A and B are shown apart, each in its own frame.
Chain A
Amino acid sequence: MSAKPQLVCPAGSLPALKAAIDHGADTVYLGFRNATNARNFAGLNFGDAQIRDGVAYAHARGREVLVAINTYAQAGRVADWHRAIDQAADLGVDAVILADLGLLAYAHRTHPQLRLHLSVQGSATNADAINLAHECFGVRRAVLPRVLTLPQVEAVIGKTPVEIEVFGFGSLCVMAEGRCILSSYATGQSPNTHGVCSPAGFVRWEPQGKAMDARLAGILIDRYAEGEPAGYPTLCKGRFDVEGDTYYALEEPTSLNTLAVLPELIRIGVAAIKVEGRQRSPAYVTAVTRTLRAAIDAAGDARYSVRPAWLDTLAPLSEGHQQTLGAYNRPWR
């Protein structure tokens, strides 16, 4: 039996960080209040003082704090990203999560003692890419994009000395992680450049009697009938008229839920399991952390089975009220 993987939980605020740690997260990840991270929403994220408080809270309890600086440095503003790395190092965080090769080189050169993780936004899906990041920049952990099957994840783990982190729960997005510029089509902004997909300033929810329209920069991306579950207002999860049929032309709003394959993830040697959702509230972080903690602790037992109470907790939190094992159990390669 492999070692128990770390549980890595999201924090968009100090109360969320404390909730994650109080309910069993081994590690919490967070971001600064700017475009250097991929959840750059108004009012979300951390200033220096809050990171300092968060790091102190985590370290006092033997837990870790990671800082996501996982967008791509933009021409003319590279200094902003360098400053974020310098600040993270000065604040004593346990690692930074980077995607941009130039930033990996900067961090490796400037802060040789700083642990580096390769972000999911780095889009490294094979051992060669991960090993290159390890050899060039000393990357110690890589977060795999949510596009690999379980046998593929196992194959990657077998061919790299780098720790492998995978997603365990949370909203899914279209399968072009680190390369998606779909929202630029409507807004001119995308996760990798501005740190945000569907910036709130472009989003309008318009009541239409009992129905509700979702618009992004004026483009109608969905219309929810009365009582129909809503999702995040992203283009990839919109319903579009394609040759006379209106449907989820790209993908349906849905959440990843890996409770059923936790023993398998542990067996193949995954080092860490990550929860999506820095944009969510402390209530979400509490519920998901507590559930994943219980499940990971139980998954080492040969008699492990997914408890109905866990599903009852996670199901209502899921976007679109659907859950999936995602690519982990797909037959295709």
Chain B
Amino acid sequence: MTLTGMLFPLLRHLPEAPPSRTLAFALNLVRRRLWPDEDFGWLAGKRIRFEVADLDRGVTIGFSGIRFRGEAPPADVTFAASLADYWAIARRDADPDTLFFQRRLTIAGDTELGLQLKNLLDATDWGPLLALLPAPLRPATG
């Protein structure tokens, strides 16, 4: 059994609020550095959920108009993918549309909101953040 396999039964019973709040906290920390010109007006009052497909758990975040916040479902738009596929997207090793064609990434709810987020992530220069990661975790190209 893999490490992830052993962790799954445990993860499935953990509350979602702490990781949701942690993600919101992290986004508030890096927001100005990664997205200096983005006001996130399109996200104000909306909730976005990222579900881990095999786990039936996820994180939900919202934007108050000023800061990101951890939230609870239901969300306006919900993405679902495996942890490995989320990681591949984040590293720009995988194209989200390709994963969508293959049914490995799903998007339910407000498609336009989801597309806006996807396109923001595609347009983000992760350089300032990736420079802080250990070399083996960095993508080949920033």
Contacts and interface: CB of A to CB of B under 8 A. Distances in A.
A30 B92 CA distance: 20
A43 B95 contact: no
Interface stretch (B8-16, B22-30, B66-74, B96-104): B96-104
Nearest to A231: B101
Nearest to B121: A281
A100 to B, nearest CB: 26
A287 interface: yes
A193 B91 CA distance: 36
Contacts of A229: 101-103
Given A207-B106, A280-B97, A12 B122 contact: yes
A65 to B, nearest CB: 16
B122 A15 contact: yes
B125 A43 contact: no
B37 to A, nearest CB: 8
Nearest to B80: A207
Which of A13, A199, A227, A228 has the largest number of chain B CB atoms within 10 A?
A13
A19 B95 CA distance: 13
Contact of B141 (A22, A43, A204): A22
Main secondary structure of the interface of B (DSSP, over half): helix
B103 A15 contact: no
Given A227-B103, A321-B101, A282 B111 contact: no
Given A19-B141, A22-B141, A316-B102, A204 B111 contact: yes
B44 interface: no
Interface in A290-333: 316-321
A15 B123 contact: yes
A228 B109 CA distance: 21
A224 interface: yes
A173 interface: no
A42 interface: yes
A212 B103 contact: yes
A216 to B, nearest CB: 10
B107 interface: yes
Contacts of A43: 42, 115-120, 123
B123 A284 contact: no
Contacts of B98: 283-284, 316-317
A41 B119 contact: yes
Nearest to B124: A15
B116 A42 contact: yes
Given A15-B125, A224-B103, A279 B97 contact: yes
Contacts of A49: 37
A280 B101 contact: no
Among A224, A281, A282, A316, find the residue whose CB has the most chain B CB atoms closer than 10 A: A281
A265 B125 CA distance: 36
Interface string A190-229: 0000000001110111110000100000000000101111
Contacts of B117: 43
Interface string B25-69: 000000000000100001000000000000000000000000000
B122 A317 contact: no
Contacts of B37: 49
B111 A203 contact: yes
Given A41-B119, A42-B42, A42-B119, A207 B97 contact: no
A12 B119 contact: yes
A282 B92 CA distance: 7
A171 to B, nearest CB: 9
Interface of A: 12-16, 18-19, 22, 41-44, 49, 199-201, 203-207, 212, 224, 226-231, 279-284, 286-287, 316-321
6 contacts: A13-B122, A43-B120, A199-B112, A203-B111, A229-B102, A281-B92
